[in-house]
């Protein structure tokens, strides 16, 4: 096979499929083994029902946290999960938020956007909620 025929084969290859528009993003499913049942937070919806560019109030448990610089500014990124999925919660300009650590149960509210390719709520308002076991600080196992 000559170099010229290989170039022709590459030239007729179909382009790769386009990425779905941001509105098609959905929250990632949560493994069934992780139980994060909470007392119902007022007007909270399941994380899986959040929609991009709509205001949402969701409740869940903080599964993980990390400090990640974003444009030279320290940024605290948390993953909030419930029985239906997970969402990134981003606090811009913060290295920590008092009372929030892995295992904390929160109800957050804000505009759903995108951060690093997944659904996220930036600088949300938040309330601490208690789990059915009665402890807001029970660590995630």
**pLDDT, tens digit, 9 for 90 and up, residues 77-135:** 999 999 999 999 999 999 999 999 999 999 999 999 998 899 999 999 999 998 655 55
Using the predicted structure, report yes or no on whether residue 6 has a pLDDT greater than 50.
Answer: yes
Residue 123 domain flag = yes
Residue 139 domain flag = no
State residue 61's pLDDT score: 97
Q: What is the CATH number of the domain that holds 45?
A: 2.40.50.140
* Mean pLDDT, rounded, for 32-42: 51
Q: How many C-beta neighbours within 10 Å does residue 76 have?
A: 18
Q: 70 pLDDT band (50/70/90 cuts)?
A: confident
| Model confidence pTM above 0.85 | no
The DSSP code sequence of 24-56 is: G--PBPPPTT----BPPPTT---GGG--TTSEE
Q: How many C-beta neighbours within 10 Å does residue 118 have?
A: 14
**Structural domain that includes position 109:** 3-128
* Mean pLDDT, rounded, for 6-35: 47
């Amino acid at each position: 096979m000559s170099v010229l025929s290989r170039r022709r084969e590459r030239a007729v290859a179909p382009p790769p499929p386009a990425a779905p528009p941001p509105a098609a993003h959905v929250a990632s499913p949560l493994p069934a083994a992780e139980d994060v049942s909470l007392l119902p937070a007022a007007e909270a919806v399941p994380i899986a029902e959040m929609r991009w560019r709509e205001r949402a109030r969701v409740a869940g448990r903080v599964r993980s946290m990390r400090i990640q610089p974003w444009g030279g500014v320290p940024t605290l990124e948390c993953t909030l999960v419930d029985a239906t999925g997970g969402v990134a919660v981003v606090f811009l300009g913060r290295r920590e938020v008092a009372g929030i650590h892995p295992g904390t149960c929160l109800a957050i509210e804000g505009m759903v956007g995108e951060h690093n390719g997944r659904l996220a709520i930036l600088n949300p308002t938040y309330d601490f909620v208690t789990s059915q076991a009665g402890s807001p600080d029970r660590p995630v196992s």
